[in-house]
């Protein structure tokens, strides 16, 4: 055989042999790694510790009650709401739908099914719910418990008989109007004081809770027209940079303080105070805060319009037209709108604290 050809064949044979050895080594290493991984995974299951490589597909299923007399589960919630039937919807808020339901052998409750894209991690959610569930104040809606199953997060609240304040102020449907009389001036003042007390309590906690979305639809009225603040703490609990709801939790158009419009979106207690001032104007005037007003032929927002009216001592003209002027005390009406404008001050630092607002309202005998 030609010496050159013989050398070429020998080189090819050597290369082929080396390739086979290298491939065999890779197969052996992979086999050992797979056995090691299966062994570690088995140990994780035995110890009850979630395998880090499987955590992303784990499913949370948990229920908790903050009322000793109440036991809740997702199965009971689904049954009570008839699988979340549209017929039982009584509210549609920023964070999800609200259903009225009768628990088996228990009370009538309000069940809020949160938007599945509107919450943070489960551990943070549970920690916040446990904090909020312990809060008790006559002007806060009680959170009775929660249920979590997979992507579903359900909150259980006490049911408040008369519904939300927005309906009482603005629902003009003939069917509903026949069932409701306009709120009297005295009742409106009672509602305002209740909201103020509830906010002062939240702001005065060791770790203050900022509501961030004070508005008429988040104020519920019980059988005695006592105000109950709803959704307190939810904006903070649900806020997440990955949530489409995060653009809404800073407030609602018409109630948001001017600093939010200027790009300062950090939540503060003074932002709640501004929203409360707007709510006072809305309650006293019966006007929605997101609709324009006209003063001397110029169109402007509700707060600016109210300031101009107060500056001209025209407070009586500001009172909701559905309220009888008989029995109104002018100085008390003037003080009411003065407090409202003080809370809705353009400058954040000049707004009073809610505890001071409560004192101002208590001094006004209306």
Least confident of 37-51, 113-127, 255-269: 37-51
Query: Strands of 89-93's sheet, edge to edge?
Result: 61-65, 143-149, 152-158, 108-114, 96-102, 89-93
Does 112 carry a binding-site annotation?
A: no
Task: Determine contact, residues 135/228, Cβ cutoff 8 Å.
Answer: no
Other beta carbons within 10 angstroms of residue 42's beta carbon come to 11
Main-chain phi, psi angles of 150, to 5 degrees: 60, -125
Residue whose C-alpha is closest to residue 280's, from 220, 226, 340, 343: 340
* Per-residue model confidence (pLDDT) at position 67: 87
Structure-model confidence comparison of residues 238 and 347, the more confident one: 347
- DSSP 8-state code for residue 365: -
Q: What would the two tokens of residue 243 be?
A: 């949530």
* Per-residue model confidence (pLDDT) at position 194: 98
Positions of CATH 3.30.200.20 in the chain: 61-158
CA torsion angle for 156, 162, 168, 172 (degrees, to 10)? 100
Q: Is the pLDDT of residue 196 over 70?
A: yes
Percent of the chain past pLDDT 70, that is, above it, reads 74
Average pLDDT score, the chain: 82
Return the SS3 of 63. Answer: strand
Tens of pLDDT, residue by residue over 3-32, are: 665 665 566 666 665 666 656 655 555 555
For residue 213, indicate whether it is catalytic. yes
pLDDT band at 118, cuts 50/70/90? low
* Per-residue model confidence (pLDDT) at position 285: 97
Least confident of 46-60, 77-91, 252-266: 46-60
Q: Is the pLDDT of residue 51 over 50?
A: no
pLDDT band at 162, cuts 50/70/90? very high
Positions of CATH 1.10.510.10 in the chain: 163-363
Task: Determine contact, residues 115/125, Cβ cutoff 8 Å.
Answer: no
Q: Which CATH code fits 163-363?
A: 1.10.510.10
Among 213, 231, 239, 272, the one annotated catalytic? 213
Architecture label for domain 61-158: 2-Layer Sandwich (3.30)
Distance CA 160, CA 183 (A): 17
* Per-residue model confidence (pLDDT) at position 235: 63
């Amino acid at each position: 055989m030609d010496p050159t050809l013989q050398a070429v064949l020998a080189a090819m044979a050597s290369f082929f042999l080396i390739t086979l050895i290298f491939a065999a080594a890779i197969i052996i290493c992979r086999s050992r790694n797979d056995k090691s991984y299966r062994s570690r995974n088995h140990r994780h299951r035995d110890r009850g510790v979630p395998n880090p490589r499987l955590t992303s597909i784990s499913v949370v299923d948990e229920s908790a009650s903050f009322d000793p007399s109440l036991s809740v589960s997702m199965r009971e919630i689904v049954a009570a709401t008839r699988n979340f039937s549209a017929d039982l919807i009584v509210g549609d808020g920023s964070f999800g739908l609200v259903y009225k339901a009768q628990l088996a052998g228990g009370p009538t409750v309000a069940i809020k099914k949160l938007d599945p894209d509107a919450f943070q991690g489960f551990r943070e959610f549970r920690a916040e719910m446990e904090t909020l569930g312990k809060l008790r104040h006559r002007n806060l809606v009680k959170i009775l418990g929660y249920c979590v199953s997979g992507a579903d997060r359900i909150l259980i609240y006490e049911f408040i008989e008369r519904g939300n304040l927005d309906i009482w102020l603005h629902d003009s449907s003939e069917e509903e109007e026949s069932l409701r009389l306009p709120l009297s001036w005295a009742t409106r003042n009672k509602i305002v004081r209740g909201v103020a007390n509830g906010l002062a309590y939240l702001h005065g906690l060791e770790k203050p809770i900022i509501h961030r979305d004070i508005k008429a639809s988040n104020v519920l009225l019980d059988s005695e027209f006592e105000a109950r603040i709803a959704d307190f703490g939810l904006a903070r609990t649900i806020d997440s940079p990955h949530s489409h709801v995060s653009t809404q939790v800073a407030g609602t158009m018409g109630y948001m303080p001017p600093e939010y419009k200027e790009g300062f979106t950090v939540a503060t207690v003074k932002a709640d105070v501004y929203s409360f001032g707007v709510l006072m104007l809305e309650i006293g005037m019966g006007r929605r805060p997101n609709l324009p007003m006209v003063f001397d032929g110029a169109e402007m927002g509700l707060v600016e319009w109210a300031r101009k009216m107060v500056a001209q001592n025209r407070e009586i003209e500001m009172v909701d037209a559905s309220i009888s002027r008989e029995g109104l005390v002018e100085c008390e009406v003037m003080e009411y709108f003065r407090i409202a404008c003080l809370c809705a001050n353009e400058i954040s630092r000049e707004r009073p604290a809610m505890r001071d607002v409560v004192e101002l309202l208590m001094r006004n005998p209306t």
